[in-house]
């Protein structure tokens, strides 16, 4: 199955809520764990135990593992493998973006099944030019994986680039809107859903960009960061059914209680489905 087909089925079966498995040093401290590799491993694998059997998608942020060097990356490998074994799709949040052979190397690292870091999908930055991501798209097609492109992010610095108007673009099109148009072309004709998604914040406010581009949307910022169900309906409209609403601290702060974290996922999924 293509990634688009897998994520479409997963959202229908498990719901649209995604948990970011992000071992912030502050969260390790709140759990009573040391900010070291042992604490990282205990934290991350406990979260996997709690949420991977019930989430459609989990999203580990690679940087929080990389900060511990090779031993931290080894923990990330276990998080990916054990999450997938529990039935969750893994969207690895790496936000990579480069050109040529380097872009291909990133694709091989994260999307080729022979890699220990192979995931179902990754996040990627298109701001060296959308075509710079072609090696990632090609590798994703080859291995039935997915790529989520940063389009309209919720950080306050984002509009400086994403809201800029494209020179010569139709009707003053924004850079972020142009990224969505590229994704619309990549996903054209895909059934039941394309494999190439966008990252669009659940807290971006109003936008004139048509976000129904036949692909999945990762919407970080849901829950503790202020994004609501009303925001999702307002921002995404007819594309709301393709939205993966993502939160991390909303769930992780309940640890190390496995049952409490799992219950929080169930509650979020019920709210989003309703």
Query: What's the CA dihedral at 91, 95, 101, 102 to 10 degrees?
Result: -120
- Give phi and psi for 114, each to the nearest 5: -75, -10
135 and 103 Cβ atoms separated by less than 8 Å:
yes
Helices (H), 52-99: 63-66, 70-85
* Catalytic residue selected from 59, 95, 142, 156: 95
Residue 3, helix vs strand vs coil: helix
238 and 210 Cβ atoms separated by less than 8 Å:
no
Nearest to 261 by CA among 249, 273, 271: 249
Q: Whole-angstrom Cα distance, residue 272 to residue 17?
A: 7
Catalytic (active site) residue 95: yes
269 and 16 Cβ atoms separated by less than 8 Å:
yes
Kindly give, in sequence order, each residue whose CB lies less than 8 Å from that of residue 152, ignoring residues fewer than 6 positions away.
158, 162, 176, 180, 198, 199, 200, 201, 204, 207, 209
Active site residues: 95
């Amino acid at each position: 199955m293509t990634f688009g087909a897998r994520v479409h089925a997963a959202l229908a079966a498990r719901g649209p809520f995604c948990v970011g498995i992000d071992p912030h040093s502050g969260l390790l401290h709140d759990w009573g764990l040391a900010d070291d590799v042992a604490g990282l491993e205990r934290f991350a694998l406990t979260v996997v135990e709690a949420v991977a059997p019930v989430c459609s998608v989990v999203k580990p942020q690679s940087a929080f593992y990389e900060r511990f060097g090779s031993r931290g990356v080894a923990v990330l490998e276990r998080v990916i493998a054990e999450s997938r074994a529990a039935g969750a799709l893994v969207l690895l949040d790496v936000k990579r973006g480069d050109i040529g052979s380097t872009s291909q190397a990133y694709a091989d690292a994260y999307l080729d099944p022979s890699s220990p870091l192979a995931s179902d999908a990754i996040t990627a930055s298109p701001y060296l030019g959308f075509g710079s991501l072609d090696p990632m798209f090609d590798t994703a097609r080859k291995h039935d994986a997915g790529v989520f492109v940063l389009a309209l992010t919720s950080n306050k610095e984002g509009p400086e680039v994403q809201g800029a108007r494209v020179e010569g673009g139709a009707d003053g099109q924004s850079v972020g809107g142009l990224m969505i148009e590229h994704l619309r072309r990549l996903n054209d004709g895909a059934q039941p859903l394309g494999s190439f998604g966008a990252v669009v914040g659940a807290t971006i406010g109003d936008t004139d960009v048509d976000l129904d581009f036949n692909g999945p949307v990762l919407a970080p910022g849901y829950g503790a960061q202020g994004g609501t169900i009303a925001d999702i309906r307002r921002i995404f409209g007819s594309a709301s059914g393709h939205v993966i609403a993502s939160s991390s601290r909303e769930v992780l702060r309940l640890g190390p209680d496995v049952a409490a974290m799992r219950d929080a996922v169930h509650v979020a999924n019920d709210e989003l489905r309703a």
